[in-house]
Structures are given as C-alpha cells and as structure tokens.
Amino acid sequence: MAGDPVPAIAEAAATDEVAAVFADIRATLGVQVVNLVWRHLATMPGALQACWAALRPAYAAGVIEDAAGEFRAGLALPALPPWRGVPPGARDVMASYDRSNSMNLLAVLAMIARMDGAVAGTAPRPPRAPPPPGPALPPLPPDLPPELAARVQRLNLIGARDGGALMASMWRHLAHWPDVLVGAERVLAGIDIGPVISASRSAAEAAARAIPPAMAPHLPPPETRAALLLFADHAIGKMVPICAALRRAAA
C-alpha cells in the first residue's frame, strides 16, 4: 500500500493556486489536513477552484458547520463495546475526521444538488470568525508494512459498497498507532453497519438541501459530479457513522 487510492495532489506537493486553495481550506474549516476529496478534485482542471469558490461562503458563514453539527447529533449509531486506552494522538485524528468528514459529506451533496439544478446565492450570510485550528496531526504515512497494510485493507472493507476500492484516509492515518487499528477492528467486529450507513446517507442528503442558498453561484465542469458522487457514496459516506461510533466507544 502506497500513496492515495485515487489521483490526488499531496499537500506537500501543491503549488501556486492549488496550494493557496488548500491553505484557505485549512484556515476556513479550522482543520490541519486537507481531505482526499479536495486533493482529488485538484487533479481535475477547474474542479477544485470552482467547488471551493461555490462552497466557501457557506463554510465561512458557518452554515455547513452548523448543519453538520445537527446532522452528527441526530445520527443513530450502533452500540459498540467500550474501547479503552486510545492514545490522545489517535483520538485527535478521529476527532478531526469526525468533524471534517461530516462537513465534507454535506458540502459534496450540496455541490451535487447545485449541479442538478438547486439554486445558489438566494440567502447569502456574512462570514463569522473561523474556528481555531485543531491539534497538529502527523502526516499520512505513504507506505505501510504488509501486515499493517492488510489490517488497514480489512478495516476499509467494513461498510464498503465499492469492494474497498476507495481507501478511507482515516485508516491510513491511524496506522501511526498499530494497536489502535487492532482495537478498531475488534470493536467493529460483528456490527451490521450497512443499514446505519444508508440511514446516515439519507439524513445527509436532507441536511444538505439547506446549503445551496448560502453558496456562491459557481459550477464546476460536468465531469466533477461523478468524482463527488464517488466520495459521497463510498469513502466519506461510510466513514461518517463509523468514525462517530468509534469516537463514542472510545469516550
């Protein structure tokens, strides 16, 4: 296992306009890591710039943050066994993905809705102070030894509807703590997560419908829709309830 599962621009390799957009994403969202969906869009001419220009006003005004908070609060999560001894650094990683994935899922679905005809810019809101950046996270490990890579692949198959083809970045990030991956596999064993993911996806679509009025009226190239749907249906869509359930078990 090496690198990203889809074409993507690594944060360290970003230059010029892409680097500027990545920096703005980190500052506006108050995150330390630019999620894979944005880094993948950066490989498609005009997609990153148009999607971020459209969504940035809704992020900056807190519309997506507030909608994501309500969405997370309403998730019906499976009851996992208590998970003790999770190191603070691993907790920070899960907290970062829990927050950013829920925001990105709603943003991606709102962008798809815009491309399908939802009207933007009818209820713009003033920006509010950006959230403080979260704790510093270690970089994504580019390569994993075979045994650890196999565990990451098994975890990525949980809830996968694409055969695990699209790797959720959180599992790779948690590979800095191999024992945490062992614990995650243990507490998720035997859980029927499929219905939870489907219910979460439906709830996210409903929450995302309120976002386009706060967006700017930019549209990305038509081929961007398939890329956005890939993440909404797979990596982000499945990891929202999985990550939230793991965090609750580790509380």
Q: Indicate whether 185 belongs to any domain.
A: yes
The per-residue pLDDT for 1 is 43
Which pLDDT band holds residue 32 (cuts at 50, 70, 90)?
confident
Q: Indicate whether 83 belongs to any domain.
A: yes
Q: Indicate whether 58 belongs to any domain.
A: no
The per-residue pLDDT for 161 is 86
The per-residue pLDDT for 4 is 62
Cα 74 to Cα 12: distance, rounded to the nearest angstrom? 36
The per-residue pLDDT for 246 is 96
Proportion of the chain above pLDDT 70, given as a percent: 98
**Residue numbers of the domain that contains 154:** 66-121+139-250
Q: Indicate whether 88 belongs to any domain.
A: yes
Q: Indicate whether 152 belongs to any domain.
A: yes
Q: What are phi and psi of 153, to 5 degrees?
A: -65, -40
Proportion of the chain above pLDDT 90, given as a percent: 82
For residues 216-237, give the mean pLDDT: 94
Which pLDDT band holds residue 3 (cuts at 50, 70, 90)?
low
Q: Indicate whether 151 belongs to any domain.
A: yes
* Domain tally, the chain: 1
Q: Indicate whether 31 belongs to any domain.
A: no
The per-residue pLDDT for 2 is 46
Q: Indicate whether 149 belongs to any domain.
A: yes
Least confident of 108-122, 163-177, 211-225: 163-177
Task: Collapse the DSSP code of 7 into the 3-class scheme (helix H, G, I; strand E, B; otherwise coil) and give the result.
Answer: coil
